Every structure is written in structure tokens, then in C-alpha cells.
Chains A and B, each alone.
Chain A
Amino acid sequence: MTKATVQTKKTQGWKRSRRRENFASFVLLLPYLILMMMFAVFPVLYAFGLSFFDTIDYVFWGLTNYRAALDDYRLLPAIKNVLSFVTIWITLMVIGVTVLSLFLDTLKERTATIIRTVYYIPGAIASSAVVVLWLFLLEPQVSPFNFIFDLVGWENRQHTFQGLGDAWIFSLMSFVAHSGGWIVVFGGALASLPGEVLEAARIDGANRFQIAMRIKLPLIYRTVVLMTILSVSTGLQIFVEPHLIGLAGDEFVREDWSVTQLSFFYAFNFGDFGIAAAMSVLSLILPFLFAFTLIFATKFYKID
């Protein structure tokens, strides 16, 4: 009897301290949760609700907005554009960032840090500014890479755009803008690998390439998956690059290149926030499916 009481008291104490810890973590999370509710969850729910209404008199009209969105003749080409962009960009990211990070990891720490910072700089510039920068890079008459353009015979920006294709141009822009940040993250992941494992591999006679491919890469695959999930959802929302490319001149305007742009068009050209909301909700489906597939297929949250 007394023994039992003691035990209950112990459990209670433990429970209390556990509860206190929980409370503390919620307090610490609160600012983030509030902001997330205000600027992420609420807008999504609001858009979801709005997508079922006619925004003139605010009458419920079911799936009419969705029908209009799906009937848009620009939707299919836009989906095609976005998918080709995402495919090219993600491939560039996965291969480029992984290879560069593994290379950097074989260098001396000081050199690697300097190079990593250099890679990061373009990522620190807002993507709108990157677009403007690229407009110069792609103009054979002023580009520092004009020798390349000479080589393939491109004389003006039209040729460059036609030669590379919009999806490749936007992919290159996004790669330069986003890869630096991920190289830093990968650097962190690689630095935290257990030294004794690498040591053991080295003693077993593995060369640098083998260590990179057989030891390091399998150990950081979660970071690769994380990057892929986040990049796919960023990529599917591509907006800034095609939206701003028109700065190069009227002949480069691409107002209906991506799905997000179509949504923007409905809201701000037609003032039809209902169809815009429907289009946005539709464009949420793909990233959701993709993220969940990857998370469950790779057992992303499983702790070894």
C-alpha cells in the first residue's frame, strides 16, 4: 500500500514536470503558430471557401468557379510549362547541389567555407533582382558570356530565349537563386556525420569517391528528400520569373506561362477572386500529393 502510494507520487511528479515542459514548448511555439494561422492557414481556408462563391453578390454556386478554371484554354499549356520547369529545376537541384556539396566536403574546411559563402550570395538576392540580372546575362550584346553565344550563333535575346527555351531559362535562374542556401544546409548535414564511420571506411581502403557515394550520400539522403519536397512545392508555384521577364521588353512578356500567373490574372485583371481562388486550390493538390508520397515512400519521419 505504502509502496504503491510512493510510486503514484513519483509518477505524478514526473507527469507534472512533463506537463510543464509541454506548456513551455507551446509558449515558445506560440508566436510561430499565431503567424502561421494568420498568414498560412487562414488564407488557404479563406480561398477554399471563396472558391465556391460568386464574388459579385456572394452567392454560393458550387463548382462553377472550378468549371471555369478548368475550361480556361491557357490551363493545359501552363501546366505543361510548370511541369517541365519543375522537372528540369529539380534535376538540376538534386544533382547540382549534391555533387557540389560532396565536392566541398572533400576540401579543407576554410576553403570550403569561402566557396560555400560565394555560392550563397546569389541566393541572398531577392529573386526579382535575380531576374533583372539574368536579363543582362542572356543578352548576347552585353553578357559577360557572349563568347558562348558567339559559339552557338545567338545574336540577340530572342535567339537566346528560343535556343534555351523558357523552362530552361527559368530553371537556371531558380537554380542560381536557390542552390546556395541548400549547399549551406548540405554542408551542415555532412559536417554532422559521425567521424568514426568515415574513419572506418577510410581504414577499409575506400577512396574519396567511394566514401562520398557509399557512405556520405546514404547518410544524408533525408536532406536530399527534404530539399526535393520543398523545391517541388516552390517550383509548382513559379510566378516571379515569368512575371518579371517582361521587363526585358514587351516581346518577352509571358503573362500566362504558369498556373499561379493564371490565378493572378483572374484576381487582378478580371477582378474574379472566385475563379482565382479555385485555381489556387487546384494548384495545391499536386504539391500535397507529391509531398505525402515522398514522405511516406521514404519513411521520412521514421527515427532509426
Chain B
Amino acid sequence: MKLIPRKVRQSTALVCAGLIAASAASAENIKLTVWSDPVRLPIYEAFDNARDDIDLDIVTVAHKDTVTKLQLALQAGTSIPDVVWMADVNYAAQISTRRVNYLMDLSDKVSAETVAEFYPTSNAPCEKGDKLICLRNDVAHYVLWYNKPLMDKLGFDVPKTWEEYEKVGTAAAANDSGIVSGAILANVPLLSTFLANNCNLAVPKADDPETLLINMMEPQCVEAAQMVDRMIASGALALQAPFEAGFVDNAKAGKLLMIPGPTWFGEHIIKRRYEFAPGTTGVAHPPKWSHQEEPVAWSWGGGVWGGWKDTAHPDAVVDLLTFVTTDTDVAKAAVTMPAHQPASIPWGKVVNASGYYADADMFSILLESASFGHPGYTSLRIDSRGLITKAVVNDIANGASLESLLPKIQEEFSNASKLAGYKVALE
């Protein structure tokens, strides 16, 4: 005993005690690693408080790095997270391929009742054959946002159809008034304009999700493109991106009459960036084309949550996924409209109670519009946003008409879809 100095003996004993304590703790508590963005940290805190038996280890990952880092982790076989937040619905498809098979099938783990409580079509990005590979966090379908005092002052009715939208927008922009009704020079605004008219721009075939319908020569696509071209020419549509400094300045100066945008535009863009005064912001159902029975709304974002199929604690993972998507207290504080309908009600109450919007019950418009969601808003292995950017954004910025670029869109999307392993069909 004399051979070992006292200090060493003491510290060895301490280390041993520590190890025993640590192993005892880990036997009690399940530890889950979660990859997320910083915005969602309060949700995990709430879960941590609600569940004493589960500890969460949160790693913040930039949205764009999610897939990249996951590929590396899977390749290395270490530090693979148990739960992943995916800001882009396409990530779900990108990490559930034969090559990168990460996502857990939730179809037999989350009860059918819970799944049914989500807004119709909201979980379409998570359906892969019979499997349910993720849960939708928020719905982000398009509605029509407008400046109510300006609309009243100019004496227009809020448009119900795209034809009316064009008429009102063009009339408001007449005489170089500088009043605009949207910003078109960005990926999702372009995509949504086509898809609202049921133009087949990389829409999975209903009976065969591995076949993408791409046909830009259809009359609906041409009709949508021509409307955009006419409205750019008349100055009704700004040849800018909605978050670009110039457009934001214009909106702040009261020159934005209306803008088609997703559910989160109200809280995050119109209130915070465009700085519309309280009581100014109106919201209406998304417009429909006159030949449509009801509107079709594309979506902008609306992230999803997924779990790791090889996690050591599948039950805990499912509990966490259900909690973050359906818990009503979490929903109240959510930054966007929850995709789980019962959870979205308290959120809607909070938004309505804020008194910011022109309509005291603006939430009911968002809620009703959810049923117009495009069933083709699914998770794809192609990057639709990047593709439309590459195909048209630069060219229309420099004066090309959108109609003249339809063949380029067709080619770019067809090539990329084939590369990603899809079959491409015209109809």
C-alpha cells in the first residue's frame, strides 16, 4: 500500500465512485441526442421538464447542413442523432433512400388517431409508400396577405380568383403608383404560382410516387407564366425577392397592396420585416383560378421531425416526436402554425388575441385554407428550389419572359429528377 502515494489512491477512489455514480444515473435515465436549430430549444426544455426519465442532448445544426452532417455521421457510424429536425420537407426523402437509410418508420408506433388529427395532406411529405417516416411540425400553405387600409383606400375588393388578383394588382400599379402586389424573383413564389394552377412541375404521380409528372407545356403552366409576365410588365409584380432590401423598404413605405404567402408570413415577414402597423394586415383564402372549383395552395416550408431507425430507445424517440408535434402548451408558444390540428387551436387563439391583424379572427382563415393544401407537396429527392432558381431566376431578372423559359424549366427538372432516380412522365 505504501508503494502508491496517497494522492493517487484518493483520486483513483474518486474516479471509481464517479464511474459508479455515472453508470447508475445512465441506467435510470435514457439519453437522446437531438439535432435541431436554436429556435426550437424551448420545446426541448419543456420536454425535459415533463419527462424525468429522459435526458436530451441538443446539438444545434444549421438548416442547410442537416443532410450533409447526417451523411457524415452515418458514414462514420458514430454520433448519429436519435431525433432530427428537418427545416425542409425534402430532407426526409433525401435521408430515407437505399443508400442513406436513416428514418424510422412511425406507422406502427404513432397511433392512427394521432395521425388523423393532423391537417389533411399536411403529413404528405412524411408518407413513403405505407410508411410514415416523419411527423410534420407546421403547416405552411399559401394564403393571400393584404394591406387592408390601402385596399379600402383604393376601393378594391380582396381578390378571390387569380384573374381578379391580376386585375386589382394591375389597376393599383397603374400611373406609376409604385404599388406592388407581390415579389416574384424567388424560388418558392415562382414554384407556387405554377402549382396553384395544378401545373405539373415535379408532382409525384398519385399511384406511383417514384414517377414525377413534369409538363411545362400544359395550358395551366402557360397560363400561369403569362399572368406573371403581364404583371411584371405592368409593374404589379416586383422583379425582386420578397426579403430583398429594396422590396422590404417598399413594403415599409406602404407600397405593398397584397402578397400571396405562406401562413408564417404574417408573424415573421409582414409584422417583423415589412413592419405593417397593427390593425393593417388582412388575410384571405388563397385565390383560385376561375376554372377551378376551389383554390389549390402550394406550401413554403413547414418542417418535419424524424427519428433514427436504429436508435437504442425507439419508445423514447416516438414520445419525443409526438410531444413536440402535438403538445398544446408547446403549440401555444410555437413560432409557426402547428400541423396537428388540435394543437393549432391554442396557437390560433394566441395569434388572434395579439390583436395585430385587421380581422379579429384571422386564424379561422388559416385553418380553412389548410384544406386547400396541394396533395403533391411531398418530400422529394430533388431540390426544386435550387432547380427553379437555376432555370429561370437570373434570366427573368434580366428581362426574359417566364413563358419563354418554360422549356428550360422542363429540361432542368427532367434531368435532375432522372439523376435522383425518378422516372419522368408528361402525364
Seen from chain A, the residues whose Cβ lies within 8 Å of a Cβ on chain B are 55-56, 72-74, 141, 156, 158-159, 161-162, 249-251, 253-256, 267-273
Instruction: Judge if B99 is at the interface, Cβ distance under 8 Å.
Output: yes
Interface size class of B (residues with CB under 8 A): 20 to 34
Instruction: Judge if B97 is at the interface, Cβ distance under 8 Å.
Output: yes
Q: Which of A158, A256, A273 contacts B394 (CB 8 A)?
A: A158
Known: A141-B246, A158-B398. A251 touches B100 (CB 8 A): no
**Interface residues of B, dominant DSSP:** helix
- A56 cross-chain contacts in B, Cβ below 8 A: 98-99
A73 to B419, CA, bound (A): 8
Instruction: Judge if B244 is at the interface, Cβ distance under 8 Å.
Output: yes
Known: A158-B397, A251-B241. A269 touches B389 (CB 8 A): no
Q: Which of A156, A256, A268, A272 contacts B68 (CB 8 A)?
A: A268
Q: Which of A141, A250, A268 contacts B389 (CB 8 A)?
A: A250
User: Which residue of B is nearest A71, CB measured?
Assistant: B419
> Contact: B99 with A162, CB < 8 Å?
no
Q: Which of B72, B243, B383 contacts A249 (CB 8 A)?
A: B243
How distant is B36 from chain A, measured CB to nearest CB, in Å? 19
> Contact: A270 with B97, CB < 8 Å?
yes
> Contact: A251 with B415, CB < 8 Å?
no
- B398 cross-chain contacts in A, Cβ below 8 A: 158-159, 162
Interface string of B67-86 (1 = CB under 8 A from A): 11001101100000000000
Residue among A158, A162, A251, A268 with the most chain B CB within 10 A? A251
A156 to B241, CA, bound (A): 11
How distant is B427 from chain A, measured CB to nearest CB, in Å? 23
Knowing that A55-B99, A141-B245 are A-B contacts, what are 6 other residue pairs whose CB atoms are under 8 Å apart, sorted by A's residue number?
A162-B397, A249-B186, A249-B241, A249-B243, A250-B389, A268-B71
Q: Which of A250, A256, A267 contacts B385 (CB 8 A)?
A: A250
A55 to B385, CA, bound (A): 28
- B381 cross-chain contacts in A, Cβ below 8 A: 270
User: Which residue of A is nearest B240, CB measured?
Assistant: A156
Seen from chain B, the residues whose Cβ lies within 8 Å of a Cβ on chain A are 67-68, 71-72, 74-75, 94, 97-100, 185-187, 240-241, 243-246, 381, 383, 385-386, 389-390, 393-394, 397-398, 415, 419-420
> Contact: B71 with A267, CB < 8 Å?
yes
**Interface residues of A, dominant DSSP:** loop
> Contact: B75 with A273, CB < 8 Å?
yes
- A271 cross-chain contacts in B, Cβ below 8 A: 71, 74-75, 97, 99-100
| Contacts A/B (CB < 8 Å), 21 sampled | A56-B99, A141-B246, A158-B394, A158-B398, A159-B397, A159-B398, A161-B394, A249-B186, A250-B241, A250-B385, A251-B186, A251-B241, A251-B394, A253-B389, A267-B71, A268-B72, A270-B381, A271-B74, A271-B99, A272-B99, A273-B75
- A270 cross-chain contacts in B, Cβ below 8 A: 97, 99-100, 381, 420
A269 to B393, CA, bound (A): 23
A267 to B420, CA, bound (A): 13
How distant is A169 from chain B, measured CB to nearest CB, in Å? 13
How distant is A271 from chain B, measured CB to nearest CB, in Å? 4
> Contact: B419 with A72, CB < 8 Å?
yes
- A268 cross-chain contacts in B, Cβ below 8 A: 67-68, 71-72
How distant is A277 from chain B, measured CB to nearest CB, in Å? 12
How distant is A272 from chain B, measured CB to nearest CB, in Å? 6
